[in-house]
Structure 1
Amino acid sequence: MANWIPLWVHKLGSPPLFYRFAGAARPWLLALAVLAAAGGLYGGLVLAPSDYQQGDAYRIIFIHVPSAWMSLFIYGVMAVASFVALVWRVKLAEVVAMESAPVGAAFTFITLVTGSLWGKPMWGTWWTWDARLTSELVLLFLYLGVIGLYHAFEDRRQGARAAAFLALIGIVNVPIVHFSVNWWNTLHQGSTVRILGPSKMAPSMLWPLLTMMAATKLYYLASLCSRVRADLLALEGGKDWVRKIAEAEGSR
């Protein structure tokens, strides 16, 4: 391992330590996700005013936009974890990358479905081969490819390494999705929420959207904790720490 990686990262990369950490963090993350989602949905569906052009149809953005952000964010996490797994052979990084893929695929699917539901009244069609929509569909196929490749090998670590290569190759699609509305003539509207500079959205609509963004991230972390814990138990089945957990569970 490179010397620049902090000691706490080394320690957190230990499967038994991460298992305990994830078990402690998961209920808190899930509770915060539920509270944030409840507040964000109430703010977006009840408190926020109707849009002067789209009416109430625009409210689907409180699901669509956070899901779209998460589809890109999770792929970025998966790619970074894949890089760490391939370069330093960290088992936990492999697990994080592979267990991120199903969650990312789910958010990408939700993005496409809600986008179609919004596009029908706005564009008059459920689907068009728009640059943003097409690149988002490619992102879904990349997620499914990673999942399929991972499960195509009997040796799970060999499958994880093969899938990690695909994840790294596919990272080129992430900036294409993000900048597609700027690079090509597209039906999809441009960005209205800006990290740097003022957003093109009323504060009464912006805060529920940002709250939903926080909720989706918290949910992803909670889901990842659960999935990684289960996968670590399967991978480390013959280790002493797993046997101790099994014995402790059996004695209850």
Structure 2
Amino acid sequence: MSTPAPSSRPLAPVPARPGSLHRFANPGRFLRLTDRLLPPLWAFALLVTGAGAAWALFFSPPDWQQGETVRIMYVHVPMAWLAMAGYAGLAIASLLSLVWRHPLADIAARELSPAGAMVTALCLATGSLWGKPMWGTWWAWDARMTSVLVLFFLWIGHAALVRAFDEEERGARAGAILALIGAVNLPVIKWSVDWFNTLHQSASVTRIGAPGMHMDMLYPLLTCAMGFSLLFAALVLARVRAGVMERRLRQAQLAQARGQESAA
């Protein structure tokens, strides 16, 4: 198996320019920032997630129609939100990579796709667990479920594509194009329950006007969503940090090998 060649875009320090995106593109600055940010972020994320899970599982009431099955919602809904928000972040990173050549964008996109695939898989799995007692089937090919399945395949496709080339930059370009094309699926997921005749219920939290659920369920749901979002952010930042250090190590090893060759 051939070793992937380092990207032709080295992670050299980028001069900070006021008002420029490149101000946040310096790998050294990113590593220093995340070194201070990640420990309290992990702690706060675990605290909020634990509080939300306890609130949802032990103190929120059962639904008058769904009974205890409604507790699946406290995982399913945040995973659905994260799957869509994460893919929007992937599209933004891809745009930064293609247009502005943001030095960290390729690494962020590369490390984001496995995490996004994970939360989308959890969304599909918990949706199936909820669908069996509610609809009498594990799966129905309605518009919402099918479009989320397409989103899962887009995550998997991006994760595989960026790792399919020996030259990382070529893989990053191909993955960025796929991510931007796949972004058209996001509005389909969002409004599929309005555009098509589906089994999936319409929005209960984000609809205009009063939410379609009691506050005793809404507050723990929002707490769980915040906790899972913080965990997702911490996971992605940790993966990007590891990706930056891994690429720096490969570049240092390549420079050392070239120095030895020239000395010989």
TM-score, length-scaled by structure 1: 0.90
Question: What SS does the aligned partner of 1:236 have?
Answer: helix
The letter for the 1-side match of 2:177 is F
For 2:245 and 2:67, how far apart are their aligned partners in 1?
A: 50
2:67 aligned with 1:55: yes
Deviations 1:153-209 (A, max 9, x none): 111122111101100000000110111111100000010002643211111100111
Structure 2 residues not aligned, in runs of 5+ = 1-13, 256-264
Shift of 1:102: 0.8
Q: In structure 2, the residue corresponding to 1:192 is in which secondary structure?
A: coil
Is the counterpart of residue 135 in structure 1 residue 147 in structure 2?
A: yes
With structure 2 as the length reference, what TM-score do the two structures score?
A: 0.86
Query: Partner residue of 1:234?
Result: 246
Partners of 1:218 and 1:78 lie apart in 2 by 17
State the Cα deviation string for residues 207-252 of structure 1 (Å, max 9, x = none). Answer: 1111111112111111111111111112222668xx9xxxxxxxxx
* Whole-angstrom CA distance in 2 between matches of 1:153 and 1:183: 39
Aligned counterparts of 2:245 and 2:59: Cα–Cα separation in 1: 44
Give the structure 1 partner of residue 223 of structure 2.
211
- Shift, 1:94, TM fit: 1.2
1:190 and 2:190 equivalent?
no
1:81 to 2:76 alignment:
no
Q: Partners of 1:196 and 1:33 in 2: how far apart?
A: 29
After superposition, where does 1:1-252 map in structure 2 within 5 Å? 6-7=19-20, 9-194=21-206, 196-237=208-249
Give yes or no for contact 2:91–2:176 (8 Å, CA) kept in 1: yes
How far the C-alpha of 1:10 sits from its partner, in A, is 2.2
Q: Which amino acid aligns with 1:74?
A: G
What residue in structure 2 maps to residue 246 of structure 1? none
Indicate the larger mover: 76-85 or 217-226. Answer: 217-226
Q: Which is higher, the Rg of structure 1 or of structure 2?
A: 2
Alpha-carbon distance in 2 for matches of 1:224, 1:23: 14
Runs of 4+ in 1 over 3 A off after TM superposition: none
Identity of aligned pairs, percent? 44
Structure 1 pair 105/116, CA: closer, same or farther in 2 (3 Å)? Answer: same
Contact 2:22 2:102 (C-alpha < 8 Å) held by counterparts: no
Which residues of structure 1 form unaligned runs of 5+?
244-252
On the 8 A contact 1:109/1:140 being kept in 2, the answer is yes
Instruction: Give 1:110's aligned amino acid.
Output: L
Residue by residue over 1:111-142, the C-alpha shift from the partner in whole angstroms, topping out at 9 and shown as x without a partner, is 00000000000000111101111000000000
**Aligned residue pairs: how many?**
238
Q: Is the 8 A contact 1:23 1:225 kept in 2?
A: no
Q: Specify whether residues 228 and 62 from structure 1 end up closer, same or farther in structure 2 by C-alpha distance, changes over 3 A only.
A: same
- In 2, distance between residues paired with 1:28 and 1:183? 42
